[in-house]
Chains A and B, each alone.
Chain A
Amino acid sequence: MSLNFSRDPGEMVKLLPKSPTGIVGLDKITEGGIPKDRPTLICGGAGCGKTLFSMEFIVRGAIEFNEPGVFMAFEEKADELAVNVASLGFDLEKLQAAKLIKLDHVYIERSEIEETGEYDLDGIFIRLGHAIDSIGAKRVVLDTIENLFSSLNNQAIIRAELRRLFQWLKEKKVTTIITGEKGDGTFTRHGLEEYVSDCVILLDHRVTNQISTRLLRVVKYRGSVHGTNEYPFLIDRSGISVLPVTSLTLEHEVSTIRVSSGIPALDKMLGGQGFYKGSSVLVSGTAGTGKTSIAGYFANETCNRGERCIFFAFEESPKQIVRNMTSIGINLQDHVKNGLLKFHASRPTLNGLEMHLVAIHQMVEDFKPQTVILDPITNLITVGSVSEVKTMLIRLIDFLQSEQITVMFTALTLNNIVNEQTDEGVSSLVDAWLLVRDIEFNGERNRGMYVMKSRGMKHSNQVREFVISDEGLNLVDVYLGPEGVLTGSARDAQRLQEETGSVLRQHALTMKDMEIDRKRRVLEAKIASLKEEFDSVQDELNKSYIEDELRKEVIEKNREQLIRNRHNEE
């Protein structure tokens, strides 16, 4: 009675073992791959990539996971297959020679076959069994086993035999992929999903507005959690890549490192240091306001720091951008040569939105840039609705932020009114938003720039005039006067006018000074003469006073004399 039920449930529950497909992204969605030692159904319409998908499973298994695989083709001949997948860089001949892969083409010509009674499909069992045993296969692909239904008449036998086959494959302990053509309202034309109930993956190739998108969905995965969305996938030179779900949580690391925008005056507006590393910057404005130039400067600055940058151009060719940028004094060609700058130019209509996203993902993963520029995102609207573009950009921003990559978008606004809902609705997503706008005044068009927002830093609230010259970009303080904001030649005129005014004033001032001086001198002269007058009056007065004194003295003397004389006479 030593049963212990209080154990950690994680220990008791045996998780479903999985077999990684090696297909980028799919293993993330399925959290590890497809069910090990069990059959998985991959279904979809014609040309949706079923064969390629299963072939990649086999090849990656052989190369990356050391699990040899058998590919049983009911549709294509082995050599045709080899040629078809050679474009993805899979060398089937070599893998076959190395006994890592076994291709077997099952060929049935209905017209050559006469059914004469009861039969079974032991032939397939024997062939498959032999193939598996000969290379020790762990993986098997049956592509597309449904062809049996069109080659043989007795459906009941086929169904019974398929059921037996899948059971047998499980017992053989091989991970199997079965492909099936999508039927009307069912996953497969002949209901294969009845027999393969562990994992069903649906591939779709959808064309909307003449633009095709490949999508993948895990319809069913018994015994495992899995992503349930439709995920876009891309078939390119390196095979299939499924876009993994971007984290929907907002948990990415943030950086306090600042990166310069390449325009010192703009950095000054942004608290003196520029953008945060890993932030998203939106530059929006009307046509011809210099959005691409700002982006070019940013790219240039990034490369000057010795960091890498990818420039996704949706409007201009790389050469055009390089040429245009030399006109404002920056040389991007050198950075391209040094391998720091990479251009990727494509028309938005080349792919669906999701494909662009996948392409961007791939390039970013390969090139590992510190800065990504998208110029302009507005054009993406031609291949999707506003909300689609927005979700795509959200995912892109999420992805780039998690990689600590600074991203700069440019967007074209179609009117001069500062529209809060503008720019594909990304304005609320981005960390910094620079607005470049026309200021049409006085018969000329000038550019004004201001920082609409910049999260987490002090930023200027002022409109700066944005000047593009041979020397490059610069921001000039606009003239703020009684007549409002003046830019361009009006600003220059105003400055001249001010200078004239000051000269005149200076002149007027000197005139007044002289006048005052003269007045003062006149006054001083007057004061001097009055003083003279006063002195003379004073002298006059003094004179009579002294005379009086003298007279008085003389009289006194005389009187004394007289007195003395009288005494003497007595």
Chain B
Amino acid sequence: MSEFSGPHDMDDTTRKDDRYVLRLFVTGASTNSVRAISNIKQICEEYIPDRYSLEIIDVYQQKKIAESEQIIALPLLIKSFPLPERRFIGDMSDTNRVLKGLGLS
């Protein structure tokens, strides 16, 4: 995957130069989904601007993904990079927990 950042991309001033690969699973335009999208966008913009990719997936549109990704609770945010993989459920309103989980606190 292109997420593996080459040396030329590296910002020497900081170790925290990893690109974040995030996927957010939502269910249509439900309240929780809408809130989760806006919350995570805000957090990313504030703490890791320009070094994240956020994919938003509507599970209703791709039902098969629910089984393959072991989705139970929604909204679900999966941080697949940097390792370790972490999962967040909920509307991302608890900013501290999100940051802790992302390793940004």
Interface set of A (CB-CB < 8 Å, partner B) = 104, 106-108, 112-124, 126-127, 129-131, 148, 151-152
Contacts of A104 in B (CB 8 A): 67
- Distance in angstroms between the alpha carbons of A296 and B75 in the assembled complex: 73
Q: Give the chain A neighbours of B75 by CB distance below 8 A.
A: 119
- Contacting pair B67 A113 (CB below 8 A): no
For the complex, is B22 an interface residue (Cβ under 8 Å from A)? no
CA distance A5 to B90 in the complex (A): 56
Q: Is A114 a contact partner of B85 (Cβ separation < 8 A)?
A: no
Interface pair B91/A116, CB less than 8 Å apart: yes
Q: Bound state CA distance, A112 and B88, in angstroms?
A: 8
Judge whether A117 and B94 touch: CB under 8 Å: yes
A117 cross-chain contacts in B, Cβ below 8 A: 32, 35-36, 39, 90-94
Give the one of B30, B66, B73, B90 with max A CB within 10 A: B73
Bound: A283/B94 CA distance, A: 80
Report the Cα distance A104→B39, complex, angstroms: 32
Query: In the complex, which residues of chain A have a beta carbon less than 8 angstroms from the beta carbon of B86?
Result: 112, 114
Count B-side interface residues using an 8 Å CB cutoff: 35
Does the CB pair B91–A126 fall under 8 Å? no
Instruction: Verify A127–B67 contact, CB threshold 8 A.
Output: yes
* B74 and A114 contact, CB distance less than 8 A: no
In the complex, the answer to whether B64 meets A130 with C-beta atoms within 8 Å is yes
Interface residue SS majority, chain B: mixed
Contact B94 A116 (CB under 8 A): yes
Provide the residues of chain A in CB contact with B37, threshold 8 Å: none
- Complex interface bits, B1-43 against A, C-beta within 8 A gives 1, otherwise 0: 0000000000000000000000001010010100110010000
| B72-A108 in contact (CB<8A) | yes
Given contacts A113-B89, A119-B73, A123-B25, 6 further A-B contacts (CB under 8 A): A106-B72, A117-B36, A118-B91, A123-B59, A123-B74, A130-B63
When the two chains form the complex, which single residue of B72, B91, B93, B100 contacts A114, counting CB atoms closer than 8 Å? B100
Say whether B47 faces chain A, with CB atoms less than 8 Å apart: no
B39 to chain A: which residues have CB within 8 Å? 117
| Least CB separation from A126: chain B residue | B66
Q: With a CB–CB cut-off of 8 A, which chain A residues contact B27?
A: 120, 122, 126
Cβ-defined contact, A124 with B72, below 8 A: yes
Tell me if B98 and A122 are in contact (CB < 8 A): no
Give the contacting residue for A115; candidates B59, B85, B97; CB below 8 A. Answer: B97
**What are 30 A-B residue pairs whose CB atoms fall within 8 Å in the complex?**
A104-B67, A108-B72, A112-B85, A114-B88, A114-B100, A115-B88, A115-B89, A115-B90, A115-B97, A116-B91, A116-B92, A116-B94, A117-B36, A119-B76, A119-B90, A120-B27, A120-B32, A121-B73, A122-B27, A122-B73, A122-B74, A123-B25, A123-B71, A124-B72, A126-B27, A126-B60, A127-B67, A129-B63, A131-B67, A151-B72
Question: Which residues of A have CB within 8 Å of B98?
Answer: 114, 116
Q: How far is the CB of A306 from chain B (nearest CB, A)?
A: 58
Q: How many A-B residue contacts, CB cutoff 8 Å?
A: 101
Using CB atoms, name the residue of chain B closest to A124: B72
Q: Provide the bound-state CA to CA distance between A115 and B87, in Å.
A: 9
**Chain A positions within 8 Å of B49 at CB level:** none
Pick the most buried of A115, A122, A127: most chain B CB atoms within 10 A of its CB: A122
A114 to B67, CA, bound (A): 20
C-alpha gap A441/B59 in the complex (Å):
92
User: When A and B form their complex, which 4 residue pairs have the shortest distance between CB atoms, in order from nearest?
Assistant: A117-B90, A123-B71, A117-B93, A130-B63
Given contact pairs A117-B94, A119-B75, A127 touches B66 in the complex (Cβ within 8 A):
yes
Docked-complex contact B74 and A119, CB < 8 angstroms: yes
Q: Is the CB of A130 within 8 A of B67?
A: yes
Q: A130 vs B32: C-alpha distance in the bound complex, in angstroms?
A: 22
Point out the residues of chain A lying under 8 angstroms from B76, CB to CB. Answer: 119, 123
Residues of A within 8 A of B87 (CB): 112-114
User: Is the Cβ of A119 less than 8 Å from the Cβ of B32?
Assistant: yes
Known A108-B72, A152-B73; contact A126-B59, beta-carbon cutoff 8 A:
yes
Q: A114-B89, A126-B59 are in contact. Are A120 and B70 (CB under 8 A)?
A: no
CB closest residue in chain A, given B91: A117
Most buried by A among B35, B66, B75, B77: B66
User: Do B88 and A116 touch (CB < 8 A)?
Assistant: yes
B67 proximity list for chain A (CB < 8 A): 104, 127, 130-131
Q: Write out the residue numbers on chain A whose beta carbons fall within 8 Å of the beta carbon of B101.
A: 114, 116
Question: In the complex, A112 Cα to B30 Cα: how many Å?
Answer: 25
> Which B residues lie within 8 Å of A152 (CB)?
73, 89
Q: Which of B39, B71, B85 has the most CB of A within 10 A?
A: B71
Residues of B within 8 Å of A122, CB to CB, are 27, 30, 59, 73-74
Instruction: Name the A residues within 8 Å of B60 (CB-CB).
Output: 126
A residues within 8 A CB of B74? 119-123
In the assembled complex, the Cα of A192 lies from the Cα of B64 at a distance in Å of 28
Name the CB-closest residue of B to A157.
B73
B residues in contact with A123, CB < 8 Å: 25, 59, 66, 71-74, 76
- With beta carbons under 8 angstroms apart, the residue of B32, B71, B93 that contacts A126 is B71
B37 nearest CB across to chain A (Å): 13
Contact A121 B91 (CB under 8 A): no
Give the shortest distance, in Å, between A399 (CB) and chain B (any CB).
47
Contacts of A121 in B (CB 8 A): 72-74
Chain A residues, Cβ within 8 Å of B25: 123
- In the bound complex, CA of A152 to CA of B90 (Å): 11
A108 vs B92: C-alpha distance in the bound complex, in angstroms? 19
A109 CB to nearest chain B CB (Å): 8
Question: How far is the CB of A114 from the nearest CB of chain B, in Å?
Answer: 4
Residue of A107, A112, A123, A127 with most partner-chain B CB within 10 A: A123
- Cα-based distance from A106 to B67 in the complex (angstroms): 8
A residues near B77, Cβ cutoff 8 Å: 116
Q: Are B97 and A114 in touch, CB under 8 angstroms?
A: yes
B72 (CB) vs chain A CBs: closest residue: A123
Given contacts A118-B93, A148-B72, contact A113 B88 (CB under 8 A): yes
